[in-house]
Amino acid sequence: MVFLVPGKKKQHSKAYTYFGISLLFSAVLLFLSRNVNGFAQWYATYIFPQMPNTLGRLFSPVPFSGFEMGLYLLLISGFSAFVFVFYFILKKPINWQNRLSRLGRISLCTVSSLFLLFTLTCAVNYSRDTFAESYGLPVHNSTNEDLKKLCLILIQDLKELTPQLEFDENGILSLEKVNIGEDARASMEKIGQRYPTLSGYYPKPKPVLFSKGMSYLGITGIYSPFTMEANYNDNISPYIIPYTTCHELAHLKGYMKEDEAGFIAYEASRNSDSKVFQYSGALNALVFSLNALYANVSIDEFKAIYSEIPSQARMELQQSRLYWKEHTAPITSVAKAANDKYLMANAQAAGTKSYGIMVDLLLAAYADELEEDLLL
């Protein structure tokens, strides 16, 4: 039998009280955000901006991803805890229950703290007003002809941009003269002049050291709600990186839904002073649009549009397909399924299918141009 002295009972009580209060506070915030009209938007407008201005500024100067390092430390700590418990069970049979109890309390407090932080810096924002609602974008059902026109507009942008860019010996976009982090911040700050909810401070985006591993998980970038960082995979096709960096920075302004972050990334890239970012935005937007087109028109109609893409961009797309084919493993499908469940758990009912909604936002943004007659 293990006897607990009063001091230990008090420690137990404090730990369980903290755990309960943290979970309760998180639950209340989530309930209010999903059930009280206007609460999430109020939170996104007045409370959330303090997160990147404090936590984001704290981690921004760090030359590596604090989130990535935190994950490694968590894994090391978990393994160490397992070894620690195993050792005391075998070598210290009298004390192992006390040790295990203490480890359990620490684990509970850590988990509840991380969940509370996630709620404060991420979960509540899933219920905010949509970007389209905030800025009056006319999202509605469009025709296949509109979709074709959108693709041709994006293709024309690529044709105009391609001669102004540098490509390597394999015909792949060169990023050697591009400062991804600073150009991404500048692009987002510029678009913030048009959309006030995107204005303000942006922490420095950072590449992930274990980017190749991210590729096997099917991840191009990740927003860390625990360190307020925008992290990107720098091992993927170069044309994806600038757009992805802006995408992750969009999450730092409280736009958690993937379709909205994607559209914001396109708008930031499109209006960027960097031709590389403009090209990246146009080609990524075209990929989304082509996927939608392929699912809605005949193969001959699709080929007619695809043939208009400049050869340089087609080489980029082919290289990207080969890259993802080479970086597919059993864990890839598991990671995608987990991401789908995560999106649905955060009131994004369509799961990964919500990525296609970005095309509706693109169609809304180009509504005036689509009304003009284009040669198809």
Is residue 184 within 8 Å of residue 249, measured between CB atoms? yes
Given pLDDT bands bounded at 50, 70 and 90, which one contains residue 333? low
Q: Could you tell me which of 16, 2, 20, 10 has the C-alpha nearest to residue 104?
A: 16
Given pLDDT bands bounded at 50, 70 and 90, which one contains residue 348? low
- Asked if pLDDT for residue 364 goes beyond 70, the answer is yes
Q: Which residue has the tokens 């943004």?
A: 365
Mapping DSSP to helix (H, G, I), strand (E, B) and coil, where does residue 220 land? coil
- Give residue 332's pLDDT: 58
Region 21-47: mean pLDDT is 97
Better-predicted residue by pLDDT, 94 or 113: 113
Lookup: tokens for 232: 């990107």
pLDDT in tens, 9-26: 566 688 889 999 999 999
Given pLDDT bands bounded at 50, 70 and 90, which one contains residue 356? low
- Give residue 351's pLDDT: 45
pLDDT in tens, 62-83: 999 999 999 999 899 888 877 8
Distance in angstroms (rounded) separating the CA atoms of residues 311 and 239: 14
Q: Could you tell me which of 199, 216, 359, 246 has the C-alpha nearest to residue 292?
A: 359
Span of 18-22, 136-140, 318-322 with lowest mean pLDDT:
136-140
Distance in angstroms (rounded) separating the CA atoms of residues 248 and 245: 5
pLDDT in tens, 192-219: 999 999 999 999 999 999 999 999 999 9
**Domain ranges (residues) in the chain:** 6-127, 132-370
What average pLDDT does the structure give for the chain? 88
| Strands (E) located in 49-192 | none
Better-predicted residue by pLDDT, 287 or 337: 287
- Note the maximum CA span of the chain: 85
Given pLDDT bands bounded at 50, 70 and 90, which one contains residue 343? low
Lookup: tokens for 320: 């990207």
- Give residue 335's pLDDT: 52
- Give residue 346's pLDDT: 60
Distance in angstroms (rounded) separating the CA atoms of residues 42 and 132: 17
Q: Which residue has the tokens 């993927």?
A: 236
- Give residue 4's pLDDT: 47
Region 334-345: mean pLDDT is 58
- Give residue 3's pLDDT: 43
Given pLDDT bands bounded at 50, 70 and 90, which one contains residue 92? low
| Beta-strand pair 206-207/221-224 | unpaired
Q: Could you tell me which of 173, 212, 210 has the C-alpha nearest to residue 323?
A: 212
Distance in angstroms (rounded) separating the CA atoms of residues 52 and 227: 9
Distance in angstroms (rounded) separating the CA atoms of residues 269 and 281: 5
